[in-house]
Amino acid sequence: MRVEVLRLGHRGERDKRISTHVALTARALGADKIIFTVEDEHVEESVKKIVENWGGNFKFEVIKKWKEYIKNFKENNGIVVHLTMYGANVNEIMDEIKKEFEGKNILVIVGAEKVPKEAYELADYNVSIGNQPHSEVAALAIFLDRLFEGKTLYRKFENAKIRIIPSNDKKQVIIKKDK
Amino acid sequence: MRVEVLRLGHRGERDKRISTHVALTARALGADKIIFTVEDEHVEESVKKIVENWGGNFKFEVIKKWKEYIKNFKENNGIVVHLTMYGANVNEIMDEIKKEFEGKNILVIVGAEKVPKEAYELADYNVSIGNQPHSEVAALAIFLDRLFEGKTLYRKFENAKIRIIPSNDKKQVIIKKDK
């Protein structure tokens, strides 16, 4: 099934690198799409450049009406997981979510700033990746890694111009030249 | 055994939020110490404030001679794991590292910018958390989550002024007032 990531909020200059890391983490760990609620050319360009060079079909979208988007997603065979330090213990709730994922798509919400109450209410699951303050990038990474059990981590991306061959002791990069 | 995280490089304004996320992820996921090679008051203050409010004994250090630090760490019953997109597949190498961790401390290196060749050479393991470009915060988070198998994620921090009780449907925060 499909995974999308909704980044709620984005405070321009302050968040631009963190938001880029959120998007690239989503792509690298197996999500199909990142959705922002605020436009940021810098972030969009960074993500599109990565997709162009490293391949795959990762989508980038900016929406204004995020509540509608969530409701629509739920109506179309989707469940919504909001990652928050206040949420239920991921160690305890992950099995249930994985079971749902066998037949449903997942929308993962990660907030930039304080998340509006409606996000908590619209979510099917409010999940904490630990109850300590750390990072939405870390939370998203761990959630996706556990959801996919490491399986998406080394998949091939179609039409990649750059590809790395993993190695403990050397840098091995394959670069496909344009004809 | 003990885990320390060495953040190699830091480009001031550009990296200050990412470096803070690296440090807080290290703390929240079970590391005992973060080491920077560049001073940044903003990052230091953010981390110290979190420790003051959320408890525990997480250490913050700035060093100049990182190569010496690594060599010393290795001489004192430690192994060094460098997280890099060029490294060996984490899915394949993690069991070996976990076995080492039963008797040895681990220093995890995460770079900010291009990492000097010496870091690759000094590391016992160069490990990739996927070979796609994403985020050092994500890489560190997944590495620590897998190393500790989720066990450090909900441990109690001593002398915490703030504590959260996980919940799927409400925010539950316990705040200890100063006497």
pLDDT at B7 exceeding the cut of 90: yes
Give me the residues of B, 11-30, that contact A with CB < 8 A.
14-15, 17-18, 21-22, 24-25, 27-29
User: Tell me, what's the pLDDT at B23?
Assistant: 98
Helix, strand and coil content of chain B, in percent to the nearest 5, comes to 40, 25, 35
**Token duo for residue B125:** 């393991």
When scoring B24, B168, B170, B173 by the number of chain A Cβ atoms within 10 A, the one with the most, hence best to mutate, is: B168
State pLDDT tens for residues B45-80. Answer: 999 999 999 999 999 999 999 999 999 999 999 999
Spatial distance between the Cα atoms of A148 and A36, rounded to a whole number of angstroms: 23
User: Tell me, what's the pLDDT at B89?
Assistant: 97
Question: For helices A136-148 and A12-29, what crossing angle results, to 10°?
Answer: 10
pLDDT at B101 exceeding the cut of 70: yes
Number of domains in chain B: 1
Q: How confident is the model at residue A179 (pLDDT cuts 50, 70, 90)?
A: low
Q: How confident is the model at residue B82 (pLDDT cuts 50, 70, 90)?
A: very high
- Bridge partners (DSSP) of residue A109 are A6, A82
List the domain range (segments joined by +) for residue A95: 3-175
State pLDDT tens for residues A125-153. Answer: 999 999 999 999 999 999 999 999 999 99
Q: Which of B88, B138, B168 sits opposite A141 (nearest CB)?
A: B138
pLDDT at B83 exceeding the cut of 80: yes
Provide the ipTM: 0.96
User: Tell me, what's the pLDDT at B104?
Assistant: 98
pLDDT at B179 exceeding the cut of 70: no
CATH of the domain at B161: 3.40.1280.10
pLDDT at A178 exceeding the cut of 80: no
Q: Give chain A positions within 8 Å (CB) of B167.
A: 86-88, 126
Average pLDDT of chain B is 95
Q: Is residue A38 within 8 angstroms of chain B, CB to CB?
A: no
How deeply is B148 buried, as exposed, middle or buried, from its count of CB atoms within 10 A (0-12, 13-18, 19+)? middle
Q: How confident is the model at residue B12 (pLDDT cuts 50, 70, 90)?
A: confident
User: Tell me, what's the pLDDT at B24?
Assistant: 98
User: Tell me, what's the pLDDT at A177?
Assistant: 81
Q: What would the mean pLDDT of B146-175 be, rounded to a whole number?
A: 95
Contact A9, A113 (CB under 8 A): yes
Q: Nearest residue of A to residue B137 by CA position?
A: A138
